[in-house]
Each structure stands twice: as C-alpha cells, then as structure tokens.
Structure 1
C-alpha cells in the first residue's frame, strides 16, 4: 500500500515540474528577445551616424557654398563638428541614451519634430495595417479553398502585383483614378484645413486625427479624416497585404492536410467550416510572427507614401530634411524608427510566444 501511494506521488509530481519548466522557458525567451533590442538599436544608429558623416559634417553639407568661409567655419565650430568624428560619435550615443536626439539646422529640437510628425505616421501605419489584414486574411482563405483553380490563380497574381508594385506608383495611380477622374476621394493631406485646425486646437490633442475626432465627438471631422486616409492606406497596405495573402494561403493549405482536419472531413464537416474554423487559427501564427517585419516595411514605405499624398508625417519630413541636407534631423528620425521597429518586433515575439509555445524553445 505504501509503495502504491509513493508511486502515485511520483507520477503526480511531473505536472507542476513541467509547468515551472514552461514558465521558465517563456521568461528566458522574453529576456533574450528583450536584450537583443539593445545591440539592434546600437548597430542601426552607428551605421546611420557614419553613413551621414561620409559626405562631411552636416553644416558644410547643408550650407557649403551659401555662406562665406569665415561664417561657415564659425557655424561648424559652434556645432562642434570640427572635433574628431569618434568624439562626436560617443557624444551622440550619450545624447540618445538620455532621450536627446539633437537639433535641426534651424535650431528646432528634434524631439519636438518627432512628437509633431510621429503621430501622423503612426496613424497611417495603423490604417495601412488594417487594410493589409482585410486584404490578406479573407483573400488568403479564398485562395486556399480554391487551390489550383482560377480564383487561386487570380489571387496569387494579385498578391504578386501588390507586393511588386512600387508604393509611389500605386499611390499616383489611385490618385489619378479616384481623385482626378472620378472625384470620389481627396487628392492629398490628412484632413481639410478647417477640420485639421479644429482638431489641433483641442485640449491635449494626441495628433492622431481620428482619435481626436472621436474624443471630441466631431463626426464631421472623423468622416473627413477617414476619407483622406483611404488612398494612402490602400497604397501602402497593398504592399503588406500581398504578403499576408500568400502566407495565409500557404499555411491554410498545409493545415488542411493535417490528421485532425481529415478526421473532421471524414465526419462530414463542410469544407467551408474546415477552412474558416479549423485551419484558420493555426494559419494566423505565421502572420503574427512576421508582422513585426511588416511594420518595418510599412514605416519604410511611409516615406514614399507620405510624400506622394502630402501626408505630413515623419516620412514626409524625412524627405524634406534630406532635400535640405539636414543630416542631424535625418539621424534623429532614423534612430527613432529603429527604436520603434525593435520594440514592435519584441511585442510581436511576446504575442507569438503566448499563442504558440513552440516559439519559446
């Protein structure tokens, strides 16, 4: 009897042990992923700094030939660009570590530039991600359901075109059709001037127009903001939507061949239910896993999209600073984007690890 009780106790013990092991595996995985943020940001910031310095100091790059040599040299000395590059580099790292991204050539704090224009880019990235998910998930399910038939072929071609078409070309084409020819949608901007001013004058505005419109209950402004967002969001969302479509199609087709799906099929479960209920959720895990990379792609595509639609966000402002050769401002914006991409990837890793335990090991 004693031996039997001891055996029962021994058999019951592995359960909690496995739970502790699983929890420890998750904690270790998240710690490693979090620590990887630091070298990622460091490498990106370092590359941008030295690439910007290849053309010389920012003052000479922006004002060379526009000022007398004495005034130009005085500005270079005032900004500290006549010191060794390695000294400037470590000073710049120290500034970033304290959250100071420097000043533009017109002495505007880059932190303020990031706050002013970053909300617009975040708004565009959000709308574009919604468009990408609305395109990629439903159409990917349709393509998987009609595998190797004409709907599948058409959707695969659509996905390739969406991914391969340059963002600026898609934007110009959409503007030509829906703004110039049909006159259905605004051609540029984030909102009409009157609505934009009303949203900017709110108490403690977020800078994200659709959120500010909802907070203030201004449905007229909200409708105007959404109309202005359609074309840039579609132009940028097509880029990522094509990738999501192919991912969903591939993973749903793979899931439909699993034993539990075949068992459901043998019990008479409809093909539609098998696709939308049993094969759908497992196919979302790869999308969540790669979503961090797609956020980086959305932020990169925002430069061209914002310039095409005069959407005054970080991408639009980055193009302006490149035009005026304000490399300090360019460094600050790129450093912020590097931080955003690294943090986004970490958040995506956390979600993927919580959904699929296999990711942790």
Structure 2
C-alpha cells in the first residue's frame, strides 16, 4: 500500500515539465521555420529576375527591339550607347541588379513611365480580378470537392474528377471566348468586355483620389446603379479565371477529405452513429481546408499568369492587359520590369501564406 502511494506523484513530475518543454520546442520550430521561409524570398526573386533578364537579352538589346527600323542606324547606335546596352552583358546584369536593389525597375520605352508607376496604375485592376477569381474558385471548388468525397468511387465522383481536370486544362482565353459567346452574344445577359459602363467610369474618375478598385469606387459614387454595373462586368472574367483554380481546389478538397476518413476521431464519430454526410461536412471538412491555405500562394502566381490572357480577352485594363500591349510594341524594358515586380509580389504572398499556414497547422513547421 505504501509503495502504491509513493509511486503516485512520480509520473506527475515529468508530466508537469513536458508541456513547457514541448511548447518551447514548438515555439522555436515556428521561429526557425519563419526565418527560413523569409530568407528563401531573396534567392527566389534573384533566380526569377536573372532568368527574365537573360531571356530578354537573348533577343537582343531592348532599344533595337523597340526602335529597330523606325530610326536611322546612326541614331539607333547613339541611343544604344547612351543607354549602355553596348556594354558587356555581365556589366548590364550587375547594373540591373543594383537598380532593382534601389527599387528602380526601369522606364518604359513606349510611354516613358516608371515601371513602378505602371504597376500602381494598373495593378489595382489585376488585384481586383484576382480577388473575384479566388472567390469563384472557393465557391465552385470547395463544394464540388466535398460532394466528390461524399459520393466517392461512384460515377458522379468520376464526372467531378474529369470536370476538375477540364477546369485546370482548358486555356483561359478559350473558356473566356466561350463564356462571351454564350452569355454576351447568344443570351445577351452580361457585358462582353470592360470593367464598367462608360457612364459609371466617368463618375468614378470624378471622385477625389480614386482607388482604382472599381467596386470600392462604385460604392463611393453613391450611384445605386454603379455597384451592380461593376459586378456584372466582373462576372465573366472572374469565372473564366476562377475555374482554372477551382479545378485544383476540387481535387485537393476531395483527396484530403477522403484522407481524413481514416483518422481516429472520424472513426470515433462514426462509431457514435454520425451519418456519412455529417462526417464530410463537419468532421472531415475543416482539416481538409488546411492544405488549401498552403497552396493559395501558388494559386496567386497562377492567377496572375492567367490574368494576362483573361484581361486581354475581356479588355479588362489591368496589368496583364498592359503587359500584353508592351509585348506587342516590343517594349522589353517594361516587360522585364513588370515580370520582376510580379516575381517580388508572388514571393511575398507565398511567405505570408506560409506564415498563416504555420500558425494554423503546427505540422507545417517541421
């Protein structure tokens, strides 16, 4: 009897010490993880900027590409020398890295604007479109993914998986043209192009300090018809771009929800008589959303890349639309600067997403 009483406190001592040690290890793991992820931003940007620089230079110097055939050879040679494009390539590369380190991404040849100014002018439109597309991806991909998990291994599940592949594999410009044909041409229920009607755009331009995000500016006008008009113009481009990411979310949710069915807490809920539908929508739903957060950063890069074609298809005058115009005029300095800036944005967004994922799911840190 004495032995049993003496041995009772023994397990309590290490148990009281273990949580604090575990907490400190977890805290150290989080800090170490965040530091590593933050430091990875710089080599990522460096590699992308380097690739863009040398790929652009493979076609020749930017002045010859933009002005060749439009100015006399003597003047062209003078312009090349004045801009420093006749120097060794490695010298130009080091100078370009120095400019980027100072926040200078160059000046466009076409309209003589700073690339950072172009980003501030047109970036808000691309940001707004990416936001709409992400909403479409969530509204389509997550419910269909849950449905596919609920009817797994049936013919409906196979149809949804094929649909996910089609969403992801269909080119954005093709789905955009198809949506325009059906809803703008045949049914005539949605606008065919643009971000808003001409009258609404004029109202927003008269606002003091417009944000460039039409939904916010439409609210500021006080016109009851402005907000519906902006949203109507956003439907088709948002759906065309959002379905691209919806296919990824659909397959990801389906796979992770089915994976959670093998966990002990789901088995415990099933043993208590919880129905299959409730298991999917309540017990297996939230854990399956964690992987989606971790891939949102990658999807932002996909949305920004798809925005180039989407904005061109729907004449949505954002950064992608302007980038396509610079490509048409062979303004390689503008293209190089915009792509470098987008690389910085994508790297930073990925870091933020990694931080959120690490805070939500401790398994990500290790």
Normalising by the smaller structure, the TM-score range is over 0.9
1:304 equivalent to 2:304? Answer: no
Equivalents in 1 of 2:117, 2:153: separation in Å? 53
Match of 1:13 among 10, 17, 26: 17
- What is the alpha-carbon distance in structure 1 between the residues aligned to residue 28 and residue 187 of structure 2? 59
**Cα pair 1:200 1:207 within 8 Å, conserved:** no
Match of 2:102 in 1: 98
The normalised TM-score by structure 1 is 0.96
Residues 104-123 of structure 1 mapped to structure 2, 5 A cutoff: 104-105=108-109, 106-123=111-128
Is the Cα contact below 8 Å between 2:203 and 2:221 reproduced in 1?
no
Instruction: State the partner residue of 1:186.
Output: 191
Determine the structure 1 residue equivalent to 2:147. 142
Partner of 1:59: 63
Structure 1: runs of 5+ lacking an equivalent: none
Offset at 1:92?
A: 1.3
Which stretch has the larger CA shift, 257-266 or 185-194? 257-266
Give, in whole Å, the separation in 1 of the partners of 2:123 and 2:275: 47
Moved more, 96-105 or 32-41: 96-105
How far does residue 4 in structure 1 lie from its aligned partner after superposition? 8.6
For 2:74 and 2:222, the matched residues in 1 are separated by 56
In structure 2, the partner of 1:352 is 357
The answer as to whether partners of 1:128 and 1:233 remain within 8 angstroms in 2 is yes
Take 2:173 and 2:225, find their aligned partners in 1: how far apart are those partners? 29
Report the CA distance shift for 1:18/1:325 in structure 2 as closer, same or farther (over 3 A): same
Partner of 2:53: 49
Deviations along 1:47-106, whole A, 9 cap, x unmatched? 101111111110101111111111111221222212222222111111111211111113
User: Which residue pairs with 1:245 in the alignment?
Assistant: 250
TM-score scaled to structure 2, two decimals? 0.94
In the alignment, the residues of structure 2 paired with residue 11 and residue 272 of structure 1 have an alpha-carbon distance, to the nearest angstrom, of: 39
Partner in structure 1 of residue 165 of structure 2: 160
342, 346, 363: which one pairs with 1:341?
346
Give the counterpart of 1:266 among 260, 266, 271: 271
The number of aligned residues is 361
Q: 1:251 to 1:327 in 2, by over 3 A?
A: same
How far apart are the structure 1 equivalents of 2:27 and 2:178?
A: 51
SS of alignment partner, residue 225 of structure 2: helix
Q: Secondary structure at the match of 1:13?
A: helix
Name stretches of at least 5 consecutive residues in structure 2 with no aligned partner: none
SS at match of 1:42: helix
| 1:75 counterpart residue number | 79
Matched residue, 1:27: 31
Structure 2: how far apart are the matches of 1:196 and 1:98?
35
Distance change in 2, residues 1:3/1:148 (3 Å): closer
Instruction: Write the distance in 1 (CA, Å) between the matches of 2:310 and 2:362.
Output: 37
Q: Which moved further from structure 2: 2-11 or 289-298?
A: 2-11
Q: Give the distance between the partners of 2:210 and 2:335, measured in 1 at CA.
A: 26
Counting only pairs closer than 5 Å after superposition, residues 158-237 of structure 1 correspond to structure 2 as 158-237=163-242
